[in-house]
Amino acid sequence: MDEVLFSVEGHVGTLTLNRPDRLNAISVPMLERLSELLAQCDADPGVRVIVLTGVGRGFCAGLDMKDLAAGRGIGSDASMGSGRFDLRSAPPIVLHNVDKPTVCALNGPAAGYGMDLALGCDVRIAGAGAKLAASFAKRGVLPESGGTWLLPRLVGWARACEIAFSGRTLDAHECLSLGLVNRVVADDLLQKDARTFAEEIAANAPLAVQATKRMMRLGLEESFEANVHHVYLQLLPLFRSKDFGEGVRAFLERRAPKFDGR
């Protein structure tokens, strides 16, 4: 059974975690496949938006504790190998570096690694039954997959400390009030709502959207002046793109633009 399902409809690529019997707990094959598919979507000009979700009643329960207790899986001695860490192809790194916008359709609980994976997406739409469980400290670990970087940037230092140090579980509406999710919808409307939003993004000029994401990502780490200079360098090729010409014509002709990503 494929542990990550993949489909493309229109310009939206959907990656679905598929271990429902384990609440989509992370396995080594799942990690490898997730990284491959994220990179594949990022390289495919036909995919303009990536949606990440899960099968069944949970988004992702984190690392598979049953596999770990059995001496296999992520975190076991067997998985550590030589002890040399090369995380360039790890999903959190790949997810952070893709230029395509990423939307998490948060269907049910996301704990530990699953929480970090959700926070790594650009936008999170939560079903009413969704939860984010920062359970790391209760398991003797830390937010190992981007959470220590992402959480303070999303909610501020004090809130991040409160959530991470206590190992709290936040329901969907708490997540919304903290800014951890963009909106909450009925569970049975989640996939449709996420799809509609992804299509809204995909209707825009893809080169412009991807450039915007790159510049916002760089802006997290650089000065205002440096970011303005980088943005200008991104703007020059956009002015020469066919999509820019189409956008101008569509505005003047009072019609919806049709972008082809060139």
Q: Alpha helices, DSSP H only, in the chain?
A: 28-43, 65-69, 77-80, 91-97, 113-119, 136-139, 147-155, 157-166, 172-178, 190-202, 206-219, 224-239, 242-252
Kindly state whether residues 184 and 232 are assigned to the same domain: no
Can you give the pLDDT at residue 72? Answer: 57
Q: How many CB atoms lie within 10 A of CB 235?
A: 13
Write the CATH number for 211: 1.10.12
Residues 37 and 148 in one domain: yes
Give yes or no: residues 92 and 197 share one domain: yes
**What is the amino acid identity at position 38?**
L
Asked if residues 13 and 51 have their Cβ atoms less than 8 Å apart, the reply is yes
Residues 196 and 243 in one domain: no
List the 131-133 sheet strands across, edge first: 109-111, 131-133, 169-171
240 shares a domain with 166: no
What is the domain count for the chain? 2
Residue 170: inside a domain, yes or no?
yes
Supply φ then ψ for residue 170, to 5 degrees: -110, 130
Q: What does each C-alpha distance from 6 to 118, 128, 141, 221 come to in angstroms?
A: 17, 25, 31, 33
* Beta-bridge mates of residue 26: 63
Q: The pTM is what?
A: 0.90
- Residue listed under structure tokens 């979507």: 41
Residue ranges of the chain with per-residue pLDDT less than 70? 65-86
Asked if residue 233 and residue 160 are part of one domain, the reply reads no
pLDDT of 177 reads 97
Same domain, 132 and 118: yes
User: Does residue 261 lie in a domain region?
Assistant: no
Q: Are residues 222 and 92 in the same domain?
A: no
Tell me, what's the pLDDT at 81?
Answer: 52
How many residues in the chain?
262
Instruction: Identify whether residues 143 and 33 lie together within a single domain.
Output: yes
CA of 233: how far to CAs of 14, 112, 237, 238, in Å?
Answer: 31, 39, 8, 9
Amino acid of residue 56:
G
Give every CB contact of residue 89 below 8 A, 6+ residues apart in sequence: 35
Residue 239 is assigned to a structural domain of this protein: yes
| Statement to judge: residues 87 and 212 lie in one domain | no
Are 216 and 102 contained in the same domain?
no
Q: Which two tokens stand for residue 188?
A: 């049975």
Distance CA 131, CA 86 (A): 31
* Domain interval for residue 23: 4-202
Q: Would you state the torsion angle of the CA atoms of residues 164, 166, 172, 177, taken in this order, to the nearest 10 degrees? A: -80
Which residue, among 6, 49, 5, has the nearest Cα to 24 in the 3D structure?
A: 5
pLDDT in tens, 215-256: 999 999 999 999 999 999 999 999 999 999 999 999 999 999
Q: Is the domain of 99 the same as that of 226?
A: no
